Structure 1
Amino acid sequence: MATVILLRHGRSTANTGGVLAGRSPGVHLDEVGAAQADSAAERLAALRLSAVVSSPMERCQQTAAPVLAGRELPLRIEEGLTECDYGTWTGRPIKELVKEPLWGTVQQHPAAVTFPEGESMPALAARAVATVRRIDAELEAADGASAVWVAVSHGDVIKALLADALGMHLDLFQRLHVDPASISVIRYTAHRPFVLASNTAAGELSWLAPKEASADAPATDAVVGGGSGH
């Protein structure tokens, strides 16, 4: 049962500028975003990580850098974790986009959305889930069921991953919230994924480190009544 820690990039210059960055090059963390990345790295410091995998976008690589500091791990870049291709929406101010008819569909029926000259939301979800599950299985095979790894990605990508793990239809994924530099956690098992955390901004994470098997129930089972906790 490998565990993936989903880390959204820290606040970027596009976030504060009110622009939909998408896959635009040259979008970096601002000062707050850099501090957020450092804080996330501190939260992860107690964990032995099998890998740190990032979207190719600069803001994600910058967020991954402090997580890797002091670790003998390379940064692994995965296209499957990259931002949605928002097509002709890319680089446009949010205040303009909210006036587009498609904006309402994005809010209410994202499973029906294909961005103009860009990617569909179902395609984003499918490639994100396939990428994370592939890497998760690979790392479990290499490092055992206690492997813990970090995937640094984007808000909509992480929301799609959480929705899949929760068994939610993509049309409901706007009910989820993923802040800059927030940490969410999924543990995949043979029976089901377990969402261990969502959109957390503080708190140590040493409880994710490998432990002896619990006496409560098999690790792939959900404990009736809630179990004894970590």
Structure 2
Amino acid sequence: ASVLAGIPFESAVSSDLARCLETARIILAGRDVPLRTEAGLREIRLWEWEGLTVAEVRKRFPGHYEARGEDIAGFRPSGGESFHDVEKRAVAAFEAIVRTSRGEVLVVAHGGVNRCLLCHLLGMPLGHLFRLGQEYACLNLLDFSGDIPTVAGLNIRPGHLFHPPRP
């Protein structure tokens, strides 16, 4: 949160799930910045797979994990979402945020959602979403001031701003 202390956010939007809300509240502590929640920024819903390890998924749903690997963007676990589904709802939510916001806006979302949004903004095939690193609590800097959105920073880990990883 201290890395973001100097940024004069005018508003903030977070997924309505607890992890993101807690992160947003920590970042905004002591500031008079309105925070609203957006269900469209929720992480992918895996329903029957929720809370399972890869080994458990492979055991309970033979062949499904492999099928997901063959079509990472389009595979949908029973009752769940595909990354195409996530992209559709997340892009709609994000575009509404961009349309209705002014100035510096804090958006707190989940890794899968971030990857879908970044693929969309970069014109990258969604099937390549895991080529984009998204560490926990990383920063992505997006600039909408010009004619086209610019990804000015990607997967920035606050600790690495001052202490780069050693080779």
TM-score by shorter chain over 0.5:
yes
What is residue 77 of structure 2 aligned with on the other side?
115
Per-residue CA shift, 1:87-139, capped at 9, x if unaligned? 11112123323565232343342222112111121110011111111111111
TM superposition score normalised by structure 1: 0.64
What is residue 86 of structure 1 aligned with on the other side?
46
**Partner amino acid, structure 2, of 1:119:** E
What is residue 135 of structure 2 aligned with on the other side?
179
Alignment partner for residue 76 of structure 1, among 13, 16, 36? Answer: 36
The answer on 1:129 being equivalent to 2:85 is no
Per-residue CA shift, 1:24-44, capped at 9, x if unaligned? xxxxxxxxxxxxxxxxx1111
Contact (CA 8 Å) 2:138, 2:157: kept in 1 or not?
Answer: yes
TM superposition score normalised by structure 2: 0.86
**Partner amino acid, structure 1, of 2:66:** G
**Partner amino acid, structure 2, of 1:68:** L
> Against the structure 1 CA distance between its residues 200 and 107, is the aligned structure 2 distance closer, same or farther, given a 3 Å change threshold?
farther
Alignment partner for residue 103 of structure 1, among 24, 44, 65? Answer: 65
- Which structure 1 residue ranges, 5 or more long, are not aligned? 1-40, 141-146, 205-230
What is residue 165 of structure 2 aligned with on the other side?
none
**Partner amino acid, structure 1, of 2:121:** A
> Against the structure 1 CA distance between its residues 184 and 113, is the aligned structure 2 distance closer, same or farther, given a 3 Å change threshold?
same
What is residue 51 of structure 1 aligned with on the other side?
11
Question: What count of residue pairs does the alignment treat as equivalent?
Answer: 158
Alignment partner for residue 113 of structure 2, among 136, 157, 171? Answer: 157
- Which structure 2 residue ranges, 5 or more long, are not aligned? 163-167
Equivalent position SS for 2:12: strand
Equivalent position SS for 1:110: coil
Measure, in 2, the Cα distance between the counterparts of 1:139 and 1:71.
18
Measure, in 2, the Cα distance between the counterparts of 1:199 and 1:114.
26
> Against the structure 1 CA distance between its residues 105 and 159, is the aligned structure 2 distance closer, same or farther, given a 3 Å change threshold?
farther
Measure, in 1, the Cα distance between the counterparts of 2:9 and 2:145.
19
Equivalent position SS for 2:135: coil
What is residue 31 of structure 1 aligned with on the other side?
none
Give the structure, 1 or 2, with the largest relative contact order (CA under 8 Å, sep 6 or more). 1
Contact (CA 8 Å) 1:113, 1:120: kept in 2 or not?
Answer: yes
> Against the structure 1 CA distance between its residues 174 and 68, is the aligned structure 2 distance closer, same or farther, given a 3 Å change threshold?
same
Per-residue CA shift, 1:178-208, capped at 9, x if unaligned? 010011122235642211111111238xxxx
Equivalent position SS for 2:66: helix
**Partner amino acid, structure 2, of 1:176:** L
Contact (CA 8 Å) 2:13, 2:107: kept in 1 or not?
Answer: yes
Measure, in 1, the Cα distance between the counterparts of 2:58 and 2:133.
18
